A and B are shown apart, each in its own frame.
Chain A
Amino acid sequence: MKNIRNFCIIAHIDHGKSTLADRLLEHTNTITDRERQDQLLDDMDLERERGITIKSHAIQMDYFFEGQPYILNLIDTPGHVDFSYEVSRSIASCEGALLLVDATQGIQAQTISNLYLAMDNDLEIIPVVNKVDMEGAMIEEVKDQIIDLLGCAHEDILEASGKTGIGIENLLHHIIRRIPAPKSHDDQPFRAMIFDSVFNPFRGVIAYFRIFDGQIKKGQKIKLFSTQKEYNADEIGILKLKPLEKQELKSGDVGYIITGVKQAKEIKVGDTIIASENPSLEPLKGFEDVKPMVFAGIYPIDSDDYEDLRDSLEKLHLNDASLVFEPETSIALGFGFRCGFLGLLHLEIISERLEREFDQSIIVTVPQVSYHCYLNKDPNKKLELHNPSDLPDITTINRLEEPWIKAQIITKPDYIGTLIGLCMEKRGILLNQVYLTTSRVELTFELPLAEIVFDFYDKLKSISKGYASFDYHIIGYRQGDLVKMDIKLNAENVDALSAMIHRDKAYEFGRKLCEKLKELIPKQQFVIAIQAAIGMKIIARETISAMRKDVTAKCYGGDISRKRKLLEKQKKGKKKMRQFGKVEVPQEAFLAVLKLND
């Protein structure tokens, strides 16, 4: 027990977490060269492409220090705000955290919010300035930032390079010396926290847990605290490069459990596993049922593929319980699904996986947040609204509420003015402005979540020339003056393009959306009127003139085959469009809302 160290790495994307983790595994001989794979912890293609770890995992290392064997459990944390709850559970499973900061970049917002989480959980923080081998490394400056932030001593800060291996050995020593061993509660009733789970098509759900009290034996009966449902611990073990089966695990251990559960949603991150016999009556604290906050419709392009799409969503849901979906119909798009996501990135990942892993051609409709609606007849009864078309008759509505977030932005002082401007424009309330160092400022805002769903990140990035990092968490619901805006093509409502919007924003939003649609909808044989409307009132209008010219001048000899193929391709392109009345609308038009400022 006293020889176990459980820790995680807190780092901003690209600050070198994966590289460093890889190096730790090498130094502890956890992987041989042959097994070595670049960026070992990121094992999904998508993750690798985005350079972030979406799903957390854990890995156990063995290390000898001063003649003693140690077990080091590295618990990896996902790197994006959409998954912040999972991060919080991973952090809660550790006694220590490496605060990894890129020596060329300095501290970023996500680092800070995760750092606060770690401090709230009383983790021992070991600050590490990483990438010290790089030419642009500002080691002393970054150390000063860290000292300001943590109030630690200069000597407490380590230097390392995941790339060259500088400081890795020393880092391992500090992990052992500074991070406390888990407290021993072997004699207490069994309690373990699930900090992650993955789905395996053969084994079902594999849950990763950290044991806080007591022990567990293979084959034992266990329960999940939130549901009190009973399961059999079919297999337990620890996480080496591959899972390694064990007969017994004790408090302080990090491991996995397989119970034959086939659906990810049954096993929730943050839940407490207890024993059926002599069960603990208290769950470990911090369990939340995370709710999807962003909703969008997903429709098959070809309505024949509806069942296929359902199958694919079901498969995705099996290993990603945070994705929820239910059937819905749209007048414009036919049969499809209303899907709930943790955030925009989650939405993007899911739609990409549907297209790439499941080969689905889909249309994703305007994303929106989850609103609360209260009716006059029962002003205390909350209705959740996931789709603008579910909005009840305006006259019956008592009030509408929308989710708000608390957001942290860290940037350079040069950009404060414009960033505050941006957040104000997004209906934000500035709560606080703190200089972390002379060259870094932390701004704290409250903002409606809906405002960051559309074009917020891109603007943030361009205003700050990339020098702003952003993080948020939901703080609750507040009343808002919200309206539903409809889009009409040749006077026909396209329900899939309807959006909820704040009344003050509606005019500008409508105008921009009409302009964008004009760009995205190709000319057709007739004039097309695009209108934005609130109720009966038209607030914006654009016209697409009829197509006059679509002709190849020359069509000779060999050109014929080529020309035929080009036209066949043109026809294929048209098949990807959806027909509204007579108007053909391409797939990308449905995401126009997200591209208003391109």
Chain B
Amino acid sequence: MAGIYVHIPFCEQVCAYCNFYFITSVKWLDDYINALCIDIAQQIQTFPLAYETLYFGGGTPSFLKEKHFELIYNTINKYRSIDSFHEINIECNPEHIDLAYIQVLKKFGINRVNLGVQSFDDMDLKRLKRNHDALQSLNACDLIATHFDNFSFDLMYSLPYQSLADWDKNLSKVLEFHPNHLSCYNLTLEEKTALKHQMSHQLKGSTDESLSFEMFQLLHFRLREEGMIHYEISNLAKLGFEAKHNLGYWQHKPYLGIGPSAHSFIDGKRFHTIAHVKHYIQHIYKNESVTEIEKLTDRDFFNEILLLRLRTKEGLDLNTLPQKFDALKTYLLEFFNVKSPYWICDENKICLTLNGWFISDHIISEIMLDEAEFEKRRN
């Protein structure tokens, strides 16, 4: 199983918390799609894998019009039948969702929609500099819930000035739509974002860590009552509704990422594409390479496994650890085989608890190995 990720790096506005790569000049979109199609064709030929998921991510993929989908699909169809993709997923912004657009999505066989709701509170949306208000979100949720089985809403918590009750209200609201999948991100203040700047200079409303954790717990337990499983730190789903494409990332399944700043993982190598729309287009037209390869060393790979597995509910199963890391099992067991509120280590299987998840960066960085330690411990 493999996935294709198509990146649409355009946004109308800059959300206050966002540090992704995108540009706001949407006028480039047509040119971009032309270049993208050339790239898709080449890449699928270079990496002829058994692709089963297709994911439009961004940026703002809901900028894509019918003609864009047509171009992209025609390209893919030359090498793969679109029907071989079980899951075709798109990220949408609420302000783009109306019945007409839903019909476009349906026409192109899109069977999973990710809606960037973030909050149902207008003040929150304003502070986050989102491009929609709560009413638009509600309408969009409604439409999507009516027309799709498989959809997911994105929410954020630990927002400035947000109380536990506010968060509970947002959860109640979202549950009215009976989602099978939710992504709930606790606000991370990324470097060089407007929000980080404001929080350190003006806004005093940053939630303290304990409240943040209470929100995380509330999320976990409220959604458990609804039959949703917390299968990754920020993702919850009813059984069978996990995001297949994203699971692929976390399970080291191969995927092909296309577009500026997109990444691929194929044959144990990571590729990343230049993060610059104009250069990307120019290079593609001149038939020049747009990707750089990063070969993962064994140590890199080992550290990645720790990083990705421990973020999931399944955790790190030492029995499934590649054989070349056998010698490192002892190291991991030495670390985890102590009673702790942060993890459970049971018969070679290590899972972080809720407490552990919430300080997972701390724990994971602690067990990651540098080159020297890695070599020492594996021998």
Partner-B contacts on A (CB < 8 A)? 523, 525, 545, 547-561, 563-564, 567-568, 570-572, 574
Contact = CB atoms under 8 A, between A and B. Distances in A.
Contacts of A572: 370
B358 A551 contact: yes
Interface string B356-371: 0111111011101010
Interface string B186-208: 11100000000000000000000
A279 B300 CA distance: 73
Nearest to A575: B370
Contacts of B357: 551
B354 to A, nearest CB: 11
B212 A563 contact: no
B300 A564 contact: yes
Nearest to A524: B362
Contacts of B257: 557-558
A568 B304 CA distance: 10
B209 A571 contact: no
Interface residues of B, number: 42
B261 interface: yes
A556 B307 CA distance: 12
Given A551-B357, A567-B364, A561 B186 contact: no
B361 A552 contact: yes
Given A525-B342, A548-B212, A561 B294 contact: yes
A571 B359 contact: no
B54 to A, nearest CB: 14
A555 B307 contact: yes
B210 interface: yes
B80 interface: no
14 contacts: A545-B210, A548-B209, A548-B213, A548-B359, A549-B209, A550-B360, A554-B185, A555-B307, A556-B246, A558-B262, A560-B304, A567-B303, A574-B365, A574-B366
B234 A558 contact: no
Interface in B328-379: 342, 357-362, 364-366, 368, 370
A572 B365 CA distance: 9
A564 B272 contact: no
A218 B13 CA distance: 80
Residue of A550, A551, A570, A571 contacting most chain B CB atoms (<10 Å): A551
B230 interface: no
A555 B183 CA distance: 12
A551 to B, nearest CB: 5
Q: Lowest 5 CB-CB distances: which A-B pairs, in order?
A: A558-B263, A553-B185, A548-B209, A570-B365, A567-B365
A505 B265 CA distance: 61
Given A551-B186, A552-B360, 19 more contacts: A523-B209, A549-B186, A549-B213, A550-B360, A553-B185, A553-B187, A553-B188, A553-B234, A554-B188, A555-B233, A555-B249, A555-B307, A555-B308, A556-B249, A557-B257, A560-B249, A567-B307, A567-B365, A571-B370
A549 B212 contact: yes
Contacts of A551: 186, 233, 357-361
Given A525-B342, A547-B209, A557 B359 contact: no
B361 A570 contact: yes
A564 B28 CA distance: 33
Contacts of B307: 555, 560, 563-564, 567
A560 B362 CA distance: 16
Given A551-B359, A571-B365, A558 B270 contact: yes
B249 A571 contact: no
B188 A552 contact: yes
Contacts of A563: 307
